A and B are shown apart, each in its own frame.
Chain A
């Protein structure tokens, strides 16, 4: 079954392109997942994003993978390709005076500057917020970091699991009888980046009205701190720890995977009908809430046996038809094959000059009747000539000179 996907392969023209941030200029020093998603959101929504990478190896995502055929290659990293759509890529070395001087000239072009170096680095280079404000107080700097630009942990190193831990999420995730568990996929990095995207828009909104820019300080710990909600709130309101709990939607094995079944009290008749045992609805053992709680193990066994040779999607749809809210465990293949995702054309196909044609998650929202215009991630330094030529007036000789000296 060929999944239905949007084909954005080069050459397709789009009318009515969704481009709410058209005209906004973003200079992007950031890298990795948090930086990647922050400026990707700006770029796909129409802002012009110029992404600065180090000339030798580029964004750290290029080395993180997963890679095509599991062979490391800087132009074939799924993480980089997905997170850097629609950006223009240039190379620039920042560890020298010339590079910093060039960076300053690029800053003069930008409305918004985004970075995720450790706190203090941009200032050390002389391109931190106070320098940017001097150039033009209307400019906005968005800084993403593990813990924020100030405070006792500002110098601490942190990545996704560090944020999930110090941000309070890990303590309430997992089995109560075991060690805390991280949520997979590096969600804290994504939260941090999405907070950066939203924070940039807040500052941009204010600047449009007042002409005043500012420094936006985004903390990965605070980002997940917002997500965890229950742990902190439970302590604040009741003095008690919420802690880790057993799943409210226990999993049952099917022939092809698992379904998650949340059994509300009103679901019992529907469950009996689904498992082909309508008489159980009025059985003494199950006749009311207390009885069902007492005989929970028997109910679990009944459902488990019945589900074991069924297909997970069939159960998902059948339960929903009866007004129940079961879920099925989707892996990536299930997502691609999901009838809902296919209808929504959530997945898109893009052709990259080196990685080739690949399928990517698209955007999770529709914008009126307009189409998103998605473009593949840049190869390392792909837009050097275009950007340095048009913004700084460099001719080919100058660009080559800069490349030879390792600045670009």
Chain B
């Protein structure tokens, strides 16, 4: 099996979600990802399981064991297909080791708070001294410059300050954030292409580049309609629930059972006729108030009631099949369980098994795209802390066994965290 990104090496001290998910995808496709963590401060995704404010603890099989940092769900999902080296970057020998790794890598991806890499002595300028054509990508929440560059944020803060929350919310209600902090995976998916663009430029010109990527700006970049409505018309958009500014009707409607729902979206008059016929409702189909989109927008509440009356007596999957057979865009609101068993995702191989052994093997989400000749696949389970330190130092940094032992003795490398909250 060919892997499309074989031969590319990425040095990855990034943490949490955006950076690690980008490099996971690149690793699935064959790039050699060297994840750098510190025993002083592991990837906080390893420890997040303890933070009740962000999520309830999610460990493999609900069992933290005596090394919970290797079993945190978030960490396991986002860090497959990577090797792991544990390096203390506050120690000059750690910085030296990092530089030797950087010399033999194509890209460095990081998302430390502004100034941290410079304090380590690993800024872009520092790295360029040892490798003039290095590609460095900084995934800052606000970017690497500006009055708010040092501002901290959680994903939920970015949804608020990038503009998404202002148009997410129930009809007539308050702005709302998503349940899943999606600015991070958004940046991850876009970063794959951006990193590869820089690598392409390097192949063509021999030049590296410093890429300053702002997560907040990336999130605003997917709000084109909202921004243009203001810049063109001074119109401030507000939440519209599950409706659409153009299509009508659109909504999420209750089905048989507890917490079972279906989304239905009528894009044009043909869809409307088809929907009414599926619901066996000739009254609806022939009501002249509803024959065009404008009328359906105007009477949206009334139409919603008719639709809900029909869906609430149907199993969601049956309703979806009926509607899709009539060519109406309808989709079951998949729960977690339904998502894992979704026939389309299962048939396309979206869920990929990974684990350290048969008893730990679980299906995790894979990638948003498929390749006909170079499929890619999870290459490695999420690594233990420091699992590949020696092999990476030997193979990539060119260190001798003596040097490697010395680093361990000095505490520059480690296999256990210094503290765990």
B35-43, B87-95, B191-199, B407-415 - the one binding chain A = B191-199
B67 within 8 A of A: no
Q: Are B225 and A151 in contact, with the CB atoms below 8 A? A: no
| B226 contacts A251, C-beta separation under 8 Å | no
Q: How far is the CA of A292 from the CA of B194 in the complex (A)?
A: 45
Once bound together, how far apart are the Cα atoms of A23 and B201, in whole Å?
Answer: 10
Q: A12: which B residues are within 8 A, CB to CB?
A: none
Residue A276, interface by CB 8 Å: no
The answer on a CB contact under 8 Å between B167 and A156 is no
Say whether B163 contacts A69, CB under 8 Å.
Answer: no
Q: Is there an interface contact between A238 and B58, defined as CB atoms closer than 8 Å?
A: yes
Q: Is the pair A231, B157 in contact by a Cβ cutoff of 8 Å?
A: no
The answer to whether A332 and B193 have CB atoms under 8 Å apart is: no
Measured in the bound complex, the distance between the Cα atoms of B419 and A203 in whole Å is: 43
How many residues of chain A get a CB closer than 8 Å to chain B's CBs?
151
Instruction: Determine if B2 and A210 form an interchain contact, defined as CB atoms under 8 angstroms apart.
Output: yes
Spot the interface stretch: B115-123, B327-335, B396-404. B327-335
A332 to B2, CA, bound (A): 45
Per-residue B-contact encoding for A226-252, CB less than 8 Å = 1, 0 else: 111111111111100111110111010
List, in ascending order, chain A residues with CB within 8 A of B339's CB. 167-168, 171, 225, 228, 231-232, 235
B312 CB, min distance to chain A CBs, angstroms:
11
- Considering only residues 111-170 of chain B, those with a C-beta below 8 Å from chain A are 142-154, 156-170
Inter-subunit contact B374/A214 (CB<8 Å):
yes
Residue in B closest to A221 when the chains form the complex, CB atoms: B344
Bound CA span A256–B197, Å: 42
Binds B, one of A294-302, A355-363, A378-386: A355-363
Interface locus among A88-96, A98-106, A338-346, A389-397: A338-346
Contacts of A69 in B (CB 8 A): 232-233
Known: A172-B179, A184-B167. A198 touches B370 (CB 8 A): no
> Range of interface residues on chain B?
35 or more
B324 to A368, Cβ gap below 8 A? Answer: no
Q: Are B228 and A82 in contact (CB under 8 A)?
A: yes
Looking at the assembled complex, report how far the CB atom of B24 sits from the nearest CB atom of chain A, in whole angstroms. 10
Q: Contact check: which of B200, B211, B369 meets A208 at CB < 8 Å?
A: B200
- Assess whether B200 is in contact with A365, with CB atoms less than 8 Å apart: no
Give the CA-CA distance A264 to B50 in the complex, in Å. Answer: 13
Interface residue A74 (Cβ < 8 Å from any Cβ of B): no
List B residues 369-411 near A (Cβ within 8 Å). Answer: 369-374
A212 near B167: Cβ-Cβ < 8 Å? no
Are A219 and B147 touching (Cβ within 8 A)?
A: no
Answer yes or no: B269 CB below 8 A from chain A CBs.
Answer: no
Complex interface bits, B175-186 against A, C-beta within 8 A gives 1, otherwise 0: 111111010011
Whether the Cβ atoms of A202 and B29 lie closer than 8 Å is: yes
The verdict on B204 contacting chain A, using a C-beta distance below 8 Å, is yes
Task: Tell whether B318 is near chain A: CB-to-CB under 8 Å.
Answer: no
Judge whether B343 is part of the interface by a CB distance below 8 angstroms.
Answer: yes
- A residues less than 8 Å from B246 (CB atoms): 64-65
- A174 contacts B176, CB within 8 Å? yes
Contact A175 B157 (CB under 8 A): no
Q: Is A335 on the interface with B (CB-CB < 8 A)?
A: yes
B230 contacts chain A at the CB level, 8 A cutoff: yes
Contact, CB under 8 Å: B168 / A184: yes
Q: Which A residues between 54 and 77 are near B, CB-CB below 8 angstroms?
A: 64-70, 76
Does the CB pair B250–A161 fall under 8 Å? yes
Chain A interface mostly: mixed
Please state if A248 and B364 are interface contacts (CB–CB under 8 Å). Answer: no
From residue B180, how far is it (CB to closest CB) to chain A in Å? 5
Bound Cα distance from A163 to B330, whole angstroms: 10
In the complex the two chains form, what is the Cα distance from A23 to B333 in whole Å? 43
Assess A249 versus B156: contact at CB under 8 Å? Given A206-B5, A360-B227: yes
Segment from A277-285, A303-311, A319-327, A399-407 that makes contact with B: A319-327
A183–B177 alpha-carbon span in the complex (Å): 8
Tell me which residues across on chain B come within 8 A of A153, comparing CB atoms: 343-344
Question: Which single member of B54, B161, B374 contacts A206 (CB below 8 Å)?
Answer: B374
A199 interface residue (CB < 8 Å to B): yes
A185 interfacial contact with B, CB 8 Å: yes
If A147-B344, A361-B224 touch, whether A258 touches B154 (CB-CB below 8 Å) is: no
- A173 and B223: CB pair below 8 A? no
CB of B365 within 8 Å of the partner chain:
yes
Asked if A158 meets B329 with Cβ closer than 8 Å, knowing A168-B339, A201-B192, A205-B5, the reply is: yes
Which residues does chain A contribute within 8 Å of B262, judged by CB atoms? Answer: 165
B282 within 8 A of A: no
Of B96-104, B235-243, B283-291, B295-303, the stretch lying at the interface with chain A is: B235-243
Complex Cα–Cα for A69 and B327 (A): 34
Give the distance in Å from the alpha carbon of A68 to the alpha carbon of B235 in the complex.
10
- Contact of B65 with A by CB under 8 A: no
State which of A20, A37, A78, A233 has its C-beta within 8 Å of the C-beta of B58: A233
- The reply to whether the CB of B267 lies closer than 8 angstroms to some CB of chain A is yes
Query: How many angstroms between the C-alpha atoms of A57 and B277 in the bound complex?
Result: 29
- Is B244 a contact of A332 with CB atoms below 8 Å? no
Q: Mark A193-219, 1 if CB is under 8 A from B, else 0.
A: 011111111111110111011111111
Add 9 more A-B contacts to A216-B369, A330-B162 (CB < 8 A): A76-B232, A148-B344, A172-B336, A173-B179, A195-B368, A202-B192, A204-B200, A249-B154, A335-B227
Can you name 25 A-B pairs with beta carbons within 8 Å?
Answer: A20-B200, A79-B224, A151-B347, A165-B331, A166-B334, A169-B180, A174-B179, A181-B168, A185-B223, A199-B193, A202-B4, A208-B200, A222-B369, A232-B336, A232-B351, A234-B73, A237-B61, A237-B73, A247-B156, A249-B154, A339-B147, A344-B217, A346-B220, A364-B213, A365-B212
